[in-house]
Amino acid sequence: MRLFWKLYLTYLLTVALCAVAVGWFAISSAGTLYHNQAEQDLLSRAQLIEQQIGGLIGIVKLDQLQTDVHNLGWSSGTRITVIAGPGLSGYVEGKVLADSEVPASTLENHAGRPEVATALLGGVGKAIRNSATLKEDMLYVALPVSGSDGTVIGVIRTALPLTMVNHSLNSLLRRIVLAAVILAVLVAAVGLIVSRRIARHMNDIKRGAERFAAGDFSHEVHVSSSDDIGSVAASLNRMGRQLDDTIKAITQQRNEREAILSGMVEGVVAVDDAERLITINRAAAALLGVTQDQAEGRAIQQVVRNPELQQFVVAALAADTPIEGDLTFHVGADSRSIQAHGSRLIGADGAGLGAVVVLNDITRLRRFETVRRDFVANVSHEIKTPVTSIKGFAETLLDGALDDRADAERFLRIIAGQADRLSAIVEDLLALSVLEREPGSDGGIVMERGSVCDVLQVAAEVCQPKAEARSITLVPSCPAEVFLDINPPLLEQAVVNLIDNAIKYSPEGSSVEIGAEQDGDTVVISVIDHGIGIAREHLPRLFERFYRVDKARSRDMGGTGLGLAIVKHVAASHGGSVAVESTLGVGSTFRIVLPA
Ligand code: ADP
Give the pLDDT band of residue 1 (cuts 50, 70, 90). low
Distance from residue 182's CA to the centre of ligand 1 (Å): 120
The pLDDT of residue 342:
95
The pLDDT of residue 439:
56
Q: What is the per-residue pLDDT across 373-423, written as a single tens digit (0 to 9) for each? A: 988 888 898 889 889 999 999 999 998 888 888 889 999 999 999 999 899
| Closest residue to atom 20 of ligand 1, CA basis | 501
Distance from residue 549's CA to the centre of ligand 1 (Å): 7
Residues 319 and 245 in one domain: no
Overall average pLDDT of the 268-289 stretch: 90
Q: Residue 169 carries which side chain, given as an amino acid letter?
A: L
Instruction: Decide if pLDDT at 537 tops 80.
Output: yes
The pLDDT of residue 118:
93
CA atoms within 13 A on the CB side of 213: 6
In a domain, 388, yes or no: yes
The pLDDT of residue 503:
95
The pLDDT of residue 451:
92
Distance from residue 429's CA to the centre of ligand 1 (Å): 17
Residues 246 and 277 in one domain: no
Q: Residue 498 carries which side chain, given as an amino acid letter?
A: L
Contact 355, 316 (CB under 8 A): yes
DSSP states of 5-42 as a string? HHHHHHHHHHHHHHHHHHHHHHHHHHHHHHHHHHHHHH
493 lines ligand 1 (CB under 6 A): no
| Closest residue to atom 4 of ligand 1, CA basis | 559
Instruction: Decide if pLDDT at 35 tops 80.
Output: yes
List, in sequence order, every residue forming a beta bridge with 595; answer none if it has no partner.
Answer: 522
Which range, of 37-51, 526-540, 553-567, 572-586, averages the lowest pLDDT? 553-567
Q: Which atom of ligand 1 is nearest to the CA of 554?
A: 3
Who has greater pLDDT, 2 or 101?
101
Residues 577 and 498 in one domain: yes
Residues 125 and 241 in one domain: no
In a domain, 64, yes or no: yes
Distance from residue 451's CA to the centre of ligand 1 (Å): 27
Give the pLDDT band of residue 473 (cuts 50, 70, 90). very high
Instruction: Decide if pLDDT at 442 tops 60.
Output: no
Look at residues 384, 400, 435 and tell me which one is the last residue of a structural domain: 435
In a domain, 99, yes or no: yes
Distance from residue 558's CA to the centre of ligand 1 (Å): 11
In terms of average pLDDT, the best of 210-224, 235-249, 439-453 is 235-249
341 lines ligand 1 (CB under 6 A): no
506 lines ligand 1 (CB under 6 A): no
The pLDDT of residue 400:
86
78 lines ligand 1 (CB under 6 A): no
Distance from residue 192's CA to the centre of ligand 1 (Å): 105
Distance CA 343, CA 590 (A): 54
Output the CA–CA distances (angstroms, integers) from residue 532 to 508, 528, 582, 587, in the order listed: 11, 12, 9, 6
Q: Which of 420, 526, 564 to mutate to test the pocket of ligand 1 (most atoms within 8 A of CB)?
A: 564
In a domain, 204, yes or no: no
Residues 42 and 78 in one domain: yes
In a domain, 142, yes or no: yes
578 lines ligand 1 (CB under 6 A): no
Give the pLDDT band of residue 444 (cuts 50, 70, 90). low
Residues 247 and 312 in one domain: no
CB neighbourhood size of 200 (10 A)? 14
563 lines ligand 1 (CB under 6 A): yes
Residues 460 and 547 in one domain: yes
The pLDDT of residue 443:
55
Q: Which atom of ligand 1 is nearest to the CA of 559?
A: 2
Give the pLDDT band of residue 441 (cuts 50, 70, 90). low
Question: Mean pLDDT in the chain?
Answer: 89
Distance from residue 48's CA to the centre of ligand 1 (Å): 162
Distance CA 299, CA 288 (A): 14
72 lines ligand 1 (CB under 6 A): no
Distance from residue 501's CA to the centre of ligand 1 (Å): 6
Residues 508 and 546 in one domain: yes
DSSP states of 450-487 as a string? EEHHHHHHHHHHHHHHHHHHTTPEEEEE-SS--EEEE-
Pairing assessment for the beta strands 473-477 and 511-519 based on DSSP bridges: parallel
CB neighbourhood size of 479 (10 A)? 10
Closest by alpha carbon to 169, among 137, 140, 143, 141?
137
Residues 577 and 453 in one domain: yes
Using alpha carbons only, how large is the chain's radius of gyration in Å? 67
User: Into how many domains does the chain fold?
Assistant: 5
Q: What is the per-residue pLDDT across 560-578, written as a single tens digit (0 to 9) for each? A: 888 999 999 999 988 999 9
Q: Which of 474, 496, 505, 539 to mutate to test the pocket of ligand 1 (most atoms within 8 A of CB)?
A: 505
| Closest residue to atom 8 of ligand 1, CA basis | 561
**Rounded (10°) CA dihedral 184, 186, 192, 194:** -110
Distance CA 87, CA 145 (A): 10
The pLDDT of residue 347:
86
Distance from residue 438's CA to the centre of ligand 1 (Å): 27
In a domain, 195, yes or no: no
Contact 506, 472 (CB under 8 A): yes
Sign of CA dihedral 156, 160, 161, 165: negative
Instruction: Decide if pLDDT at 223 tops 80.
Output: no
Distance CA 296, CA 276 (A): 8
Q: What is the per-residue pLDDT across 69-109, written as a single tens digit (0 to 9) for each? A: 999 999 888 899 999 999 888 889 999 999 998 888 888 99
Q: What is the per-residue pLDDT across 351-370, written as a single tens digit (0 to 9) for each? A: 888 999 999 999 989 888 98
CATH number at residue 336: 3.30.450.20
Residues 472 and 582 in one domain: yes
Look at residues 132, 167, 202 and tell me which one is the last residue of a structural domain: 167
526 lines ligand 1 (CB under 6 A): no
Distance CA 269, CA 254 (A): 16
Output the CA–CA distances (angstroms, integers) from residue 226 to 68, 161, 223, 232, in the order listed: 79, 61, 9, 10
| Closest residue to atom 11 of ligand 1, CA basis | 548
Instruction: Decide if pLDDT at 57 tops 80.
Output: yes
What range defines the domain where residue 351 resides? 265-360
CATH number at residue 463: 3.30.565.10
The pLDDT of residue 359:
94
**What percentage of the chain has pLDDT greater than the value 70?**
99
Q: Which atom of ligand 1 is nearest to the CA of 587?
A: 24
In a domain, 11, yes or no: no
In a domain, 301, yes or no: yes
Overall average pLDDT of the 292-319 stretch: 89
Q: Which of 554, 566, 586, 588 to mutate to test the pocket of ligand 1 (most atoms within 8 A of CB)?
A: 554
CB neighbourhood size of 492 (10 A)? 20
CB neighbourhood size of 378 (10 A)? 16
Q: Which atom of ligand 1 is nearest to the CA of 529?
A: 23
Distance from residue 543's CA to the centre of ligand 1 (Å): 9
Distance CA 422, CA 31 (A): 144
Distance CA 590, CA 112 (A): 157
Look at residues 328, 360, 392 and tell me which one is the last residue of a structural domain: 360
Residues 384 and 329 in one domain: no
Distance from residue 548's CA to the centre of ligand 1 (Å): 6
Distance CA 144, CA 152 (A): 6
Residues 67 and 150 in one domain: yes
